[in-house]
Structure 1
Amino acid sequence: MARVSQEHLDARRRQILDGAALCFARNGFHATSMQDVLKEADLSAGAVYRYFSGKEELIGAIVAEVLGSVREAFEEAARQSPPSPPDQLVASVLGRTLAARESLIVDGRPAFPRLVIQVWTETLRNEELALILREGYGSVRAAWGEIVEGYQRAGMMRADVTPDHVARTMIACVLGFIAQQSLFGPAPVEVLQDGLRALTTMRAEDTATGGSQLG
């Protein structure tokens, strides 16, 4: 029997995860059956169950994959000296995350933002998924904290602010932007980048005088 290549195995796993993501984004986790996933992925039950035992494992794999890719991108940025400014960094990482899933479309809209909302809702009842999300969130926070420390060492950011506070704020901006896309429709990442650039270039002396001298 011919040995199946790793490339083939990876492609099949990707096919299953993408099919499941579309189903979950379209109908939610509870209204989606494994039969729906099989149909969307166009695979037999045997082919799918070779990789995943059921819906719960599929959900966990999707969440872990997304958070892992985001963490790796921020960890890579943290190794730069100094890191790119926050507006550029967030736009770059979020843009890459969305672009990697741009082929997943539900009702004419990108599926990924809707999937994120579904995940948040599911964590309220699924402790295993909540644990995966907490661990992933913690690793992203840690990576962002290292980036902030890099800004502070380079004199790009005031040193009297706790790095984790900045990390939590930047993550909140990204999650809020994704939630807006789910609720109100797609928007380019340049919208978030422009907003962050405007906020991070404010000067204390300008706010004290009503902002009349911004420039």
Structure 2
Amino acid sequence: MPRLTDARKELRRAQIAEAAVRCFGRSGLERTSIADITAESGLSAGSIYVHYRNKAELVQAAARAALAERAAIIGEWTAGDTPPHPDELPARLVAGKDPAAARVAVQTWGEATTDPAIRAIVVDMIDELRAMLHDCVVAWLVKVEHHEPAEAGRLATPIAERVTALYLAELLRVALHPPAEGTPS
């Protein structure tokens, strides 16, 4: 049997995680089985278990992929000459967000209330998001509002807390009320 290269392993892991997100978005975390993910991905159950030990690992992979996507966007804003105003960040972060992915996020939050492994994932993801938003707000305060970096760091903390909370609320809105076809989110 040929060995998978690292690149091929990562592609396979992404294929499985994407199939899991589609299943979670359609049926929910609780009602989605590994058999559902197997059918959706077109792979064997054995192949799924080679890459992920259980459903919690798939949830974590999906959360990491979503965070990486947001991190890339926030990183571009932070590095830019004119980072967006903090009040714009929540709406910008959900712009074009797939409602199925938003539903998976909300379902994951629900699972986090009773499953310690999922709770750890959610807390970690929100903490990482808050830190990235903090950096973006600091960049805005320094580059646009012309604050000193130390003062900007201090001022950014409560703003990043508020932006994080508003983003999570916007994500819930997208999950519950997805935009109609052809309309901007």
TM-score normalized with structure 2 length = 0.79
Residue 51 of structure 1 aligns with an amino acid whose one-letter code is H
8 Å contact kept, 1:77–1:83: yes
8 Å contact kept, 1:78–1:146: yes
Please say if 1:137 is aligned against 2:126: yes
8 Å contact kept, 1:74–1:140: no
Q: Which residue is 1:10 aligned to? A: 10
Q: Going by fraction, where is helix more abundant, 1 or 2?
A: 2
Moved more, 43-52 or 7-16: 7-16
8 Å contact kept, 2:67–2:125: yes
Alpha-carbon distance in structure 1 between the residues aligned to 2:79 and 2:103:
32
Residue 122 of structure 2 aligns with an amino acid whose one-letter code is L
Q: Residue 177 of structure 1: CA displacement? A: 1.8
8 Å contact kept, 2:25–2:104: yes
8 Å contact kept, 2:25–2:103: yes
8 Å contact kept, 2:23–2:40: yes
Unmatched tracts of structure 1, length 5 or more: 103-109, 192-215
Q: Which residue is 1:173 aligned to? A: 166
Q: Secondary structure at 1:171's aligned position in 2?
A: helix
Percent of paired sites with the same residue: 26
RMSD in angstroms over aligned alpha carbons?
2.9
Q: Which deviations, in whole Å up to 9, do the C-alpha atoms of 1:9-68 show, x marking residues without a partner?
A: 232212211111111122222212111111111111111111001111111111122123
Evaluate the alpha carbon distance shift between residue 130 and residue 157 of structure 1 in structure 2; reply closer, same or farther with a 3 A threshold. Answer: farther
8 Å contact kept, 1:23–1:37: yes
Question: Aligned pair count?
Answer: 180
Alignment of 1:140-151 (within 5 A): 140-151=129-140
Q: Which residue is 2:116 aligned to? A: 127
Alpha-carbon distance in structure 2 between the residues aligned to 1:42 and 1:154:
48
Q: Which residue is 1:183 aligned to? A: 176
Please say if 1:26 is aligned against 2:26: yes
8 Å contact kept, 2:83–2:144: no
Alpha-carbon distance in structure 1 between the residues aligned to 2:6 and 2:32:
29
Unmatched tracts of structure 2, length 5 or more: none
Q: Residue 189 of structure 1: CA displacement? A: 9.3
Please say if 1:163 is aligned against 2:144: no
Alpha-carbon distance in structure 2 between the residues aligned to 1:165 and 1:157:
18
Evaluate the alpha carbon distance shift between residue 125 and residue 3 of structure 1 in structure 2; reply closer, same or farther with a 3 A threshold. Answer: same
Q: Which residue is 1:198 aligned to? A: none
Moved more, 68-77 or 175-184: 68-77
Residue 56 of structure 1 aligns with an amino acid whose one-letter code is A
TM-score normalized with structure 1 length = 0.70
